[in-house]
């Protein structure tokens, strides 16, 4: 997913708990769903950042060759300015873009 195009806020906003728990009926279940999705987003973002920063990796141990790379700094700053994974996950949950299921609740069995 392209997190650069997300409309999630970059700061914390007040949320209506009734709207958040409308689908699940339980605050704790909603928190678990959002937190698991936030973990997934965090891992994806970290892998993407590491992949971009890998181009600038220096494998020498010489301290004289250590220098400041402007492009590397700009990439890092860009990722720091993105909304946090929790805010992106909350936005996805509000827009019903997250698929989830509760394994404890079995689907209704058809009557024979």
Amino acid 44: pLDDT: 93
**CA-to-CA separations, 70 to 66, 73, 74, 82, in angstroms, rounded:** 13, 5, 6, 19
Per-residue confidence in pLDDT tens, the chain, 112 aa: 677 777 787 887 888 889 889 988 889 999 999 999 999 999 999 999 999 888 877 666 555 555 667 888 888 888 888 899 999 999 999 988 888 877 777 565 454 5
Amino acid 39: pLDDT: 96
- 7 burial (CB, 10 Å; 0-12 / 13-18 / 19+) is exposed
pTM for this prediction: 0.77
């Amino acid at each position: 997913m392209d997190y650069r195009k997300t409309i999630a806020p970059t700061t914390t906003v007040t949320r209506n708990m009734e709207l958040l728990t409308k689908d699940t009926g339980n605050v704790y279940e909603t928190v678990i769903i959002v937190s698991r999705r936030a973990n997934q987003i965090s891992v994806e973002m970290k892998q993407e950042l590491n992949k971009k920063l890998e181009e600038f990796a220096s494998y020498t141990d010489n301290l004289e060759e250590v220098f400041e790379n402007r492009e590397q700094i700009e990439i890092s700053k860009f990722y720091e300015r993105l909304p946090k994974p929790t805010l992106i996950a909350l936005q996805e949950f509000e827009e019903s873009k997250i698929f989830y299921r509760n394994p404890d609740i079995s689907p209704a069995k058809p009557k024979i």
